[in-house]
Amino acid sequence: MSTSGFYKEWISVGNNRIILECRDSFPASEERFIADVSAKVVENNASKSARVVSVYYDDKSCIHCVTVASTNEEDSAIESVLTSVLQGIFNNGNCQVNFELVKRGNESSDHYNHMEHLSVSTEFAKR
Protein backbone atom coordinates (compact mmCIF):
# COMPACT_ATOMS: atom_id res chain seq x y z
CA MET A 1 0.00 0.00 0.00
CA SER A 2 1.19 3.47 -0.80
CA THR A 3 2.56 5.62 2.01
CA SER A 4 2.21 9.02 0.38
CA GLY A 5 -0.21 10.81 -1.89
CA PHE A 6 -3.94 10.55 -2.35
CA TYR A 7 -4.71 6.88 -2.69
CA LYS A 8 -8.08 6.51 -0.96
CA GLU A 9 -11.54 7.98 -0.94
CA TRP A 10 -14.72 7.26 1.02
CA ILE A 11 -17.98 7.10 -0.98
CA SER A 12 -21.59 6.25 -0.14
CA VAL A 13 -23.63 3.94 -2.34
CA GLY A 14 -27.09 3.32 -0.91
CA ASN A 15 -26.60 2.02 2.65
CA ASN A 16 -22.95 1.20 1.96
CA ARG A 17 -20.06 3.42 3.08
CA ILE A 18 -17.16 2.17 0.96
CA ILE A 19 -13.48 3.00 1.05
CA LEU A 20 -11.90 3.03 -2.41
CA GLU A 21 -8.16 2.42 -2.25
CA CYS A 22 -5.40 2.13 -4.82
CA ARG A 23 -1.85 1.00 -4.23
CA ASP A 24 -0.11 3.88 -6.03
CA SER A 25 -2.77 6.02 -7.65
CA PHE A 26 -6.04 7.80 -6.93
CA PRO A 27 -9.30 5.82 -7.19
CA ALA A 28 -10.82 6.36 -10.63
CA SER A 29 -14.20 5.80 -12.26
CA GLU A 30 -13.51 2.05 -12.59
CA GLU A 31 -13.27 1.64 -8.80
CA ARG A 32 -16.46 3.68 -8.36
CA PHE A 33 -18.19 1.50 -10.96
CA ILE A 34 -17.09 -1.68 -9.16
CA ALA A 35 -18.32 -0.23 -5.85
CA ASP A 36 -21.69 0.64 -7.38
CA VAL A 37 -22.16 -2.77 -9.02
CA SER A 38 -21.00 -4.57 -5.86
CA ALA A 39 -23.40 -2.62 -3.65
CA LYS A 40 -26.33 -3.43 -5.94
CA VAL A 41 -25.43 -7.13 -6.10
CA VAL A 42 -25.13 -7.32 -2.30
CA GLU A 43 -28.38 -5.40 -1.84
CA ASN A 44 -30.27 -7.83 -4.11
CA ASN A 45 -28.62 -11.12 -3.10
CA ALA A 46 -27.82 -10.94 0.62
CA SER A 47 -29.51 -10.08 3.91
CA LYS A 48 -30.00 -6.50 5.11
CA SER A 49 -26.95 -6.83 7.36
CA ALA A 50 -24.46 -7.31 4.49
CA ARG A 51 -22.54 -4.31 3.18
CA VAL A 52 -19.64 -3.60 0.83
CA VAL A 53 -16.86 -2.03 2.93
CA SER A 54 -13.90 -1.79 0.55
CA VAL A 55 -12.76 -1.80 -3.07
CA TYR A 56 -8.96 -2.04 -3.38
CA TYR A 57 -7.00 -1.87 -6.63
CA ASP A 58 -3.42 -3.11 -6.80
CA ASP A 59 -2.07 -1.47 -9.93
CA LYS A 60 1.11 -3.55 -9.83
CA SER A 61 -0.70 -6.89 -10.19
CA CYS A 62 -3.84 -5.38 -11.80
CA ILE A 63 -6.24 -6.97 -9.29
CA HIS A 64 -9.40 -5.50 -7.82
CA CYS A 65 -10.32 -6.81 -4.38
CA VAL A 66 -13.82 -6.20 -2.99
CA THR A 67 -14.55 -6.82 0.70
CA VAL A 68 -18.08 -7.52 1.92
CA ALA A 69 -18.90 -7.72 5.63
CA SER A 70 -21.96 -8.97 7.48
CA THR A 71 -23.12 -10.14 10.90
CA ASN A 72 -25.06 -12.97 9.23
CA GLU A 73 -23.08 -16.12 8.37
CA GLU A 74 -25.52 -17.05 5.59
CA ASP A 75 -24.32 -14.01 3.63
CA SER A 76 -21.03 -15.77 2.86
CA ALA A 77 -22.69 -17.07 -0.34
CA ILE A 78 -22.48 -13.52 -1.72
CA GLU A 79 -18.74 -14.07 -2.25
CA SER A 80 -19.27 -16.46 -5.18
CA VAL A 81 -22.24 -14.50 -6.58
CA LEU A 82 -20.34 -11.21 -6.63
CA THR A 83 -17.21 -12.85 -8.03
CA SER A 84 -19.16 -14.30 -10.96
CA VAL A 85 -20.87 -10.95 -11.66
CA LEU A 86 -17.57 -9.03 -11.66
CA GLN A 87 -15.86 -11.71 -13.77
CA GLY A 88 -18.78 -11.52 -16.21
CA ILE A 89 -18.38 -7.76 -16.55
CA PHE A 90 -14.58 -7.60 -16.84
CA ASN A 91 -13.85 -11.10 -18.18
CA ASN A 92 -10.20 -10.90 -17.11
CA GLY A 93 -9.97 -12.99 -13.94
CA ASN A 94 -8.61 -10.04 -11.97
CA CYS A 95 -11.45 -9.54 -9.47
CA GLN A 96 -11.34 -11.08 -6.03
CA VAL A 97 -14.11 -10.94 -3.42
CA ASN A 98 -13.54 -11.45 0.31
CA PHE A 99 -16.29 -12.01 2.86
CA GLU A 100 -15.77 -11.09 6.51
CA LEU A 101 -18.11 -12.29 9.23
CA VAL A 102 -18.37 -9.73 12.02
CA LYS A 103 -19.64 -10.25 15.56
CA ARG A 104 -22.98 -8.55 16.22
CA GLY A 105 -22.77 -5.15 17.87
CA ASN A 106 -25.04 -3.60 20.48
CA GLU A 107 -27.94 -2.88 18.15
CA SER A 108 -30.14 -1.69 21.03
CA SER A 109 -27.87 1.32 21.63
CA ASP A 110 -29.11 4.70 20.45
CA HIS A 111 -25.64 5.34 18.99
CA TYR A 112 -25.40 2.09 17.01
CA ASN A 113 -24.77 2.47 13.27
CA HIS A 114 -24.54 -0.84 11.40
CA MET A 115 -22.29 0.41 8.59
CA GLU A 116 -19.93 2.04 11.06
CA HIS A 117 -19.86 -1.17 13.12
CA LEU A 118 -18.87 -3.21 10.04
CA SER A 119 -16.18 -0.72 8.96
CA VAL A 120 -14.63 -0.56 12.42
CA SER A 121 -14.82 -4.34 12.99
CA THR A 122 -13.08 -5.06 9.68
CA GLU A 123 -10.53 -2.32 10.48
CA PHE A 124 -11.21 -0.36 7.28
CA ALA A 125 -12.30 2.68 9.31
CA LYS A 126 -8.82 2.87 10.86
CA ARG A 127 -7.10 3.39 7.54
Give me the domains of the chain, ranges plus CATH numbers: 8-121 (3.30.300)
Beta bridge partners of 65: 56, 96
User: Whole-prediction pTM value?
Assistant: 0.83
Instruction: Tell me which DSSP letter residue 49 carries.
Output: T
Q: Which amino acid is at 115?
A: M
CB 118 within 8 A of CB 51: yes
Sign for the CA dihedral angle at 40, 58, 83, 124 comes to negative
At residue 116, what are phi and psi to the nearest 5 degrees? -65, -40
**pLDDT, tens digit (0-9, with 9 covering 90-100), for 8-34:** 898 999 988 899 999 888 888 999 999
**pLDDT, tens digit (0-9, with 9 covering 90-100), for 53-96:** 999 999 888 899 999 999 889 999 999 999 999 999 988 878 99
